[in-house]
Amino acid sequence: MSDRDDLIARLADLGARSATVTALFQQKAAASYGLGVTDMKALDVLMRGGPQTAGQLATALSLTSGAVTGVVDRLVKHGLATREADAGDRRRVLVAADLAAIAAGPNVYQGISDAFRTLHASLSTEQLAFLVGYTEQSIALTEQQIDALS
């Protein structure tokens, strides 16, 4: 009993520390590109989701359209993304990540990506499957709590 409770309490504490450390990493990673955290997040959205309009970017980042204009300005200035008019709807602006330029950059995620891959490689398939399920649940749970706060 006390054993389990102890583990659960420790896990709660570790979760909070993990969140803090993760935030700090993102900040440092962005800084080594000369960008802010939001800009980095935008780049990530563009790389995952492909070219998108400024409006899509705004909803993905929970920003106003004005803020997105600034984000895209900075990314374009750094040569990490391109902005071009949409042929179909000329009000729209399509923003695309410049994958070649990003690959030529400091590549800050390589190190952490490799480190986690070797950590995961040392785990059993059962443990990996458990982690996937657990992480999915914790994400869903956190999303619910975000909605509860809104």
Applying CB under 7 A, which residues contact DNA? 35-36, 38-39, 53-56, 58, 62-72, 74, 83, 88-93
Alpha carbon distance 91, 110 (integer Å): 37
Residue 92 interacts with which of DNA, a second copy, none, CB < 5 to 8 Å by class: DNA
53, 43 contact by CB (below 8 A): no
123, 131 contact by CB (below 8 A): yes
Residue-wise over 109-119: b if at least 16 C-beta within 10 A, else e? eeeeeeeeeee
Interaction with a second copy in 53-82: which residues (CB under 8 A)?
62
- Binder of a second copy out of 35, 39, 41, 52 (CB under 8 A): 41
Q: Is the Cβ of residue 15 or residue 84 nearer to a second copy in the bound state?
A: 15
- Binder of a second copy out of 3, 87, 90, 103 (CB under 8 A): 3
Only segment of 25-33, 64-72, 79-87, 90-98 that touches a second copy (CB under 8 A)? 25-33
Burial class of residue 125, CB neighbours in 10 A (0-12, 13-18, 19+): exposed
72, 81 contact by CB (below 8 A): yes
Nearest to 107 by CA among 29, 6, 35, 3: 29
DSSP state of 52: E
Residue 99 interacts with which of DNA, a second copy, none, CB < 5 to 8 Å by class: none
> Which parts of this chain interact with a second copy (CB under 8 A)?
3-4, 7-8, 10-12, 14-26, 28-29, 31-32, 41, 44, 62, 108, 111-113, 115-117, 119-121, 123, 125, 127-132, 134-139, 141-146, 148-150
